[in-house]
Structure formats: structure tokens, C-alpha cells
């Protein structure tokens, strides 16, 4: 299923991705640091929610209490939890 998740306190405004069970793919960030976010999207494509959280959750951007990578980890967890409720 495709998810469009808004972000908070970062330059990107939205993260879109496909979630098949607990596997995340086709990640697209809207806004933000284009090159870096494309690289992150390619690197974690096909990873499970837990692995994305393990590597990206808690990463910060400057003085902000979050980052686009951290927002991705939070978004995939939220989508995964939503998908379990709908099943």
C-alpha cells in the first residue's frame, strides 16, 4: 500500500513510500536536500521497518530535534502500525 506521510520540523514536507507487510520501498521525499534524500531512499529501499528504525531513528539535523532520516523512521513505523490495525 502507498503512504503519504507529512513531516514535522524538517525541510521536506512529505514522505511517500510503499509498504508491503513490513518491507518499505519506492521512497520519495517532497522538498528537503534533494541529493541526500535520494541517496537515503536508494540505500534503504527494500529494508524492513525495524531495520530503518535501527539505523535512522534519532538522527538529528543541526539544532533540530529530528531530521528527514528520523522522520522517515517515524513515518514507516506509523504506517506499519496503521496497516496492522486495518488488517
The string of pLDDT tens digits covering residues 9-49 is 999 999 999 999 999 999 999 999 999 999 999 999 999 99
Say yes or no to pLDDT of 6 above 80: yes
pLDDT in tens, 57-86: 999 999 999 999 999 999 999 999 999 987
Residue 22 CA to residue 14 CA, distance in Å, equals 20
In 3D, which of 65, 71, 61 has the Cα closest to residue 41? Answer: 71
Q: Which domain holds residue 73?
A: 2-86
CA 36 to mean position of chain CA atoms: 13
Task: Say how many domains are in the chain.
Answer: 1
Residue 31 CA to residue 1 CA, distance in Å, equals 22
Amino acid at each position: 500500500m502507498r503512504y503519504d506521510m507529512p513531516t514535522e520540523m524538517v525541510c521536506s514536507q512529505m514522505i511517500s513510500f510503499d509498504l508491503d507487510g513490513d518491507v518499505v520501498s519506492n521512497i520519495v521525499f517532497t522538498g528537503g536536500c534533494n541529493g541526500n534524500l535520494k541517496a537515503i531512499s536508494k540505500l534503504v529501499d527494500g529494508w524492513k521497518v525495524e531495520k530503518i528504525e535501527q539505523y535512522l531513528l534519532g538522527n538529528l539535523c543541526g539544532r533540530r530535534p529530528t531530521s528527514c532520516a528520523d522522520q522517515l523512521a517515524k513515518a514507516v513505523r506509523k504506517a506499519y502500525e496503521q496497516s496492522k490495525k486495518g488488517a
